[in-house]
Structure formats: C-alpha cells, structure tokens
Chains A and B, each alone.
Chain A
Amino acid sequence: MEYSLLIKKLKKGLDPEEEKQFQEWYSSSSEHRDYFKNLKRNFQDSPNLEINTSKAWTKVDKKIFKPKNNYWRYAVAAVLVLGFLSFPIYYLLKTPMEDENRIVEINELESHSKGIIFKDQDGKSVTFSESDSIISGKYYQGNGSQLKISDIDQSVGTNSIIVPTGKQFNLELSDGTKVTLNAKSKLEFPTSFDQSDHRKVKLIYGEAYFEVTPAIENNNKRFIVENLNQSIEVIGTSFNIENYKKEEVVTTLVEGEINLLHGNNKIVMAPGQQSVVNKQNLEGVRDVEVYDYVAWKDGMFLFKDKPLEDIFNVLSRWYDVEVEFEEKALQEIKFNGRFKQKQKLQNILHIIENTKRARFELDGNKIKVMQYQE
C-alpha cells in the first residue's frame, strides 16, 4: 500500500480500483485503521504531542547496562567445558601469550590528552605526541613513540623524558642502552656518558625496563640506575624497576646480573629474582615469574591473582581515571587477566563485570566500583 494513496483518499478520493486496494489494507488490521485515523486528524498540522522526557529517560536508564538475557552465563559455561576438556594441551602450550583473552581489538585509546615531554640539555622542552612524525635536534632524533640519543662529543648536559598517563615510550641512550618507559614515569639521563667513569641515569618516578649494553663495550663503565632509595649497578643486563609507590622500589631482573645498592648494603641479584626496597630497608629478595612484571613493555596488562585495588592502580595510570570503591571489601577481590593495553577501558571493565563479582559505573573520569547486582 502506497502512502500517497492514503493522502489521495483524504484529499481527493480514490477511483474504484484504488478504493478496493485501500479497503483491503484498511480492513486487514486495527493498527492500519488507527494509522489512517491519526493521519486524517494530524497530517497537515504539526501535532501537539505531550512528550514526557523524564519518564522516558527512567525507562531507558533501567534498560541500559543490564544484559537482556543470560547470554554470558552460557558463554562462560561453554568456556569452562572447553577448558576442562583441553586441560592437558593447555598446560603444554603455556607461553607468555597463551591466555590471550577474548578481547576484540579496538583501534585506539581514547584518553590521549597530553604528549610526551622531552627536555633537552639546554633546558629547552619539546612536547610531542604519536601523531608527530619526526622530532630532531642536534643530538637526538625520533618520533612520537621513540627517541634515540646520538653519541656526540662535548655534550654533558642532562635531559629528561616525562611520559604521561596512557602512554609508553622507547628511548635509546647514547651508549645503545634501550629503555622502555611506562605511563606516568620520568627519567633523567645525560646526553653523553663520555665525561664520567660510569653511566648513570635517574628514574625519578614510575616504571622502566632496561636493556643495558655490556660494560665491556663501554670502556668498562658500569651502568647505574638511581632511585630515591636505591641504586642498581649493572654490568650488562635486562631488568625492570618499578617505583610508583612513593617509598617502594621493586626491581625485577630478567637476565644478566645486577648489584642492588641501598644504604651501605650491596646485594647481588640473579635472573628471575625480584627485590623490594621500602624506605631504605630491603624487604627481601624473592624468585618471581619474571614475565608477569615486564608484560607491560609488550603492551599488555597482566594481572595474576591481583586484588581489584592493584588492578585499578595500574589501569588509572593508563586511562587517566580516578577510582572510588563503594565498600572496602571490594578492593580485595582478586582477579586473573591479561588485557591488551590498546583498547578501551570500557572493554576491560565489561570483562571484569562479566565475572559477576563487581560492577562499575563510569562517570567522566571517575569509576565507581560497586557490589554486583543481578
């Protein structure tokens, strides 16, 4: 049935053939009759509808954020069954990437607000972002995600890099040492190490992964990373230093050998070991699953049996959000998970929510963590 026929019916009348067609349509349903009646009444002037927006909002508000069916329950059940059946293979195939979760890759992060700040040895500062293709100066060159310092003579000044929330940055120092800086970190380093008898950089705050070139290639100069409370002396090695909590420094050695210096003590650390230094005191050295602590440099969040509080500490450095727990008990709930960093926070929250152990409300840059409700 053509709409134009209805108008013709109203305005002018139909010929017998059309009338027959109309009657057929008109008589076949009460919805059709209602339509025609309302059209007749309203079609030429704007109808005065009484629209109750707040009532409609209440209705919509109730529907959003609640799954319409139990789809997830079935999905979880299916995964559990599969997991059970494939148990032996699962363990054989265990690799760092093995439990890559069911995340759909989504193009970009949303929260890039600030850029990376590079302050060169003359105190000049440059802010750049991932969209900047080339950054160069007399002794450095790079782009939005990395910077390489060239070894040139007669440069003795100090540079610094500040990485904001939600970013990572790769830096190659003039001795070839590679540093990956995590979000919310600051590193100070000299342009050249030629003038001193060691290679010293300072991790002012944050987290960094170092791949240090051997001393033997650098006139036997030791590499030293200084923190607030400790120094790490390196012969040539890969390791991770985390110093997000004001007074706690966590150092994880991946390979090689490092000396941990704090106060007057010196401890030799072996690969796979992790030290925690708290206010000048060495809390201890323990063996750890190293990859858990350095997965971030490969663009991953890796949580193993971590309480929600710790998880949100990590997430907030990446997504620039503040977290509020409705009840203290919620901070303690533990989760396992592996997430790609290059995705929306919302995805991660959804996945955690699907375990039905907590629920989240995102309001601007605030996340409220609440008790799960059916």
Chain B
Amino acid sequence: MEPNLILERLKMQDKKAFQQVFETFYPPLVAYSYKFTYNQAVSEDLVQESFIYIWENSSKLKIKKSLQAYLFTMVRNRSLNYLKKINLTDSHHLIDISNFLTEDFQEKMFFEKDMGALKQKAEEILQCLPEKMQEIFKLKIMHGFSYKEIADEMGVSVNTVKTQLKRARFKIESALTILYFLFFC
C-alpha cells in the first residue's frame, strides 16, 4: 500500500490499515530499539507504546517525510529516553553510527539536524573501503536499491554484489571498533 494512503487511512481510524502497519514495522522497530536498550521486553513495550500513540493521535500527526521515518524516529527517541533512565548517554552517537552502517535500517530514521555530523562520520568510515565496494554499499544501504538493481547499475553479477556487500560489512565492523577507540584513546 502506498505510504501516504496508509497515513490517510490511519487518520480515518482504519484499524485494518493500522494492523497492517503494525505487522510490517513491529519486528524491525523492536530490533532497532534493541540496539539501544539491549532489553527486548523494554523495546517491545516502547514500540507498542509508539504505535498506540500514533493511533490515538493520528488526526494531529504532522508527518513531513514518511510514516516509516516517523516511527523509527519516535522509537529512537523513546529508546534514548530509556538509556537516560539507566543513566547512560551516547553523546558521540556511536549507536546511531553503528546502526547506520551495519543494519538494514537504512536512511529510514534519518531526520534530524544533528544527523548531518553523524552521516559525515559514517562517510569517513566508508572512505576506508575500496571504491567499488563503497558504491555498492551506498546503493544498497543508503539508497535502498535491490541486489538486482545494483547489479544492473554497476554492470556486475548479482553474486558479485552480494559478496562485495558481505565484505563491506566485515570491514565496517572493524572500522567501527577503531572508531569506538577514536573517542577514548
């Protein structure tokens, strides 16, 4: 279903549409939140509360981008609130950077002003990758292309795309570890 249409249907308090959105986004949102909370029960609760909020306030919602981006942003904020509760802060945005580079959460949740700096850091890490690998990675993660689309775009086979991505992820993991140290070495 078209995202804007879904939003319209939510505003009409269409429960079926709401359930559909819930079923689509619940698992990825919980997985996303878990990267902050490391507590599945907490993440499930706060994702559920986010959905309830959306349902109950659908008429008032002003969603500039997509409903998806809105959901991810809301879950991120609530997850950060939980961290605050357990006296943790992530002022270097390490969790965001890590999510940005390693998960399939893509640009879904990118939204705010301070994300510019974060993106830049992520870009810096990407610079460490070979050029072709970099490009494949960007097409996949940042622009949401499918394997097939990337293969066509770059004139390589789908298998090559897959291997390159796997390697890219591995390299990023290592780069991330280095990044973590950058902040406190």
By a beta-carbon cutoff of 8 Å, the part of chain A in contact with chain B is 1-8, 11-12, 25, 28-29, 31-32, 34-35, 38-39, 42-44, 46-47, 49, 51, 53-54, 56-57, 59-61, 63-64, 106, 110, 344-347, 361-364
Residues of the A chain whose Cβ atoms lie less than 8 Å from the Cβ of B8: 110
Closest to B19 in A: A57
A3, A63, A362 interface centre (most CB from chain B within 10 Å): A3
Task: Determine whether the beta carbon of B26 is less than 8 Å from that of A7.
Answer: no
Q: Is the CB of A51 within 8 A of B87?
A: no
Give CA–CA (A51, B103) in the complex, Å: 17
B14 contact set on A, CB distance < 8 A: 362-364
Q: Is the CB of B180 within 8 A of A4?
A: yes
Greatest chain B CB density within 10 A among A2, A7, A28, A110 is at: A7
Q: CB distance B34 to A346 under 8 Å?
A: no
Q: Which secondary structure dominates chain A's binding surface? A: helix
Contact A56 B26 (CB under 8 A): yes
Chain A residues, CB < 8 A from B30: 49, 51
Number of A-B residue pairs, CB cutoff 8 Å, is 115
Partner of A346, one of B12, B47, B92: B12
A363 to B19, CA, bound (A): 12
A341 to chain B, nearest CB (A): 16
For A364, what are the chain B residues with a Cβ–Cβ distance below 8 Å?
A: 9, 12, 14, 16
Q: Tell whether, in the assembled complex, residue A12 and residue B181 are in contact, meaning their CB atoms are under 8 Å apart.
A: yes
Contact A11 B181 (CB under 8 A): yes
Given A51-B31, A63-B52, A64-B56, verify A56-B184 contact (CB < 8 Å). no
Identify which of A11, A64, A362 contacts B177 (C-beta below 8 A): A11
B15 CB contact (under 8 Å) in A4, A31, A363: A363
Q: Is B135 an interface residue (CB 8 A)?
A: no
Set A46, A51, A345: member contacting B27, Cβ < 8 A? A51
- Chain A residue with minimal CB distance to B176? A44
If A35-B39, A38-B39 touch, whether A60 touches B16 (CB-CB below 8 Å) is no
**B180, A49: Cβ atoms closer than 8 Å:** no
The 10 closest A-B pairs by CB, nearest first: A38-B38, A3-B90, A362-B13, A7-B180, A51-B27, A53-B26, A4-B183, A8-B184, A64-B55, A346-B13
Q: Are B89 and A56 in contact (CB under 8 A)?
A: no
Complex Cα spacing A110 to B8, Å: 8
B67 beta carbon closer than 8 Å to chain A = no
Residues on B with C-beta less than 8 A from A56 are: 22, 26, 44, 47-48
Which of B26, B31, B48, B86 sits near A31, CB closer than 8 Å? B86
Q: What does the 1/0 interface line of B111-141 toward A look like (CB < 8 Å)?
A: 0000000000000000000000000000000
Nearest-neighbour CB distance to chain A for B133, whole angstroms, equals 20
Q: Decide if B91 touches A2 in the complex (CB within 8 Å).
A: yes
- Report Cα–Cα, A43/B103, bound state, in Å: 12
User: How far apart are A27's CB and chain B's nearest CB, in angstroms?
Assistant: 12
Residue of B nearest to A319 (CB): B12
Q: Which residues of A contact B48 (CB under 8 A)?
A: 56, 59-60, 63
Q: Are B86 and A32 in contact (CB under 8 A)?
A: yes
Residues on B with beta carbons closer than 8 Å to the beta carbon of A51: 26-27, 30-31, 40, 44
Q: Mark B43-81, 1 if CB is under 8 A from A, else 0.
A: 010011001100110010000000000000000000000
Which partner residue on chain B sits nearest A31 by CB separation?
B86
Are B38 and A35 in contact (CB-based, < 8 A)? Answer: yes
Residues of B within 8 A of A25 (CB): 87
Residues in B1-26 with C-beta less than 8 Å from chain A: 8-9, 11-16, 19, 22-23, 26
How distant is the Cα of A60 from the Cα of B9 in the complex, in angstroms? 18
- Chain B proximity of A347: nearest CB distance (Å): 7
Closest to A42 in B: B38
Q: Contacts of B11 on A, CB cut-off 8 Å? A: 110, 344, 346
Q: Compute how far the CA of A263 lies from the CA of B56 in the bound complex, rounded to whole angstroms.
A: 55
Task: Check if A4 sits within 8 Å of B38, measured CB to CB.
Answer: no
Residues of chain B contacted by A344 (CB below 8 angstroms): 11, 59
State how many angstroms separate the Cβ of B61 from the closest Cβ of chain A. Answer: 12
Q: Mask for B89-108, Cβ within 8 A of A = 1, else 0?
A: 11110110000001100000
* B83 sits at the interface (CB 8 A): yes
Which residues of chain B are within 8 angstroms of A61 by Cβ–Cβ distance? 19
Q: How far is the CA of A152 from the CA of B27 in the complex (A)?
A: 67
A-B contact pairs, 11 of them (CB 8 A): A1-B87, A1-B89, A3-B83, A39-B38, A49-B30, A53-B27, A56-B48, A57-B26, A61-B19, A346-B11, A362-B12
- Whole-angstrom distance from the CB of A106 to the nearest CB of chain B? 6
Q: What residues of chain A lie closer than 8 Å to B102, measured between beta carbons?
A: 46
Q: Which residue of B lies closest to A12 (CB)?
A: B181
Which one of B12, B90, B183 has the greatest number of beta carbons of chain A within 10 Å? B12
A56–B21 Cα distance when bound, in Å, is: 13
Residues of A within 8 Å of B44, CB to CB, are: 51, 56
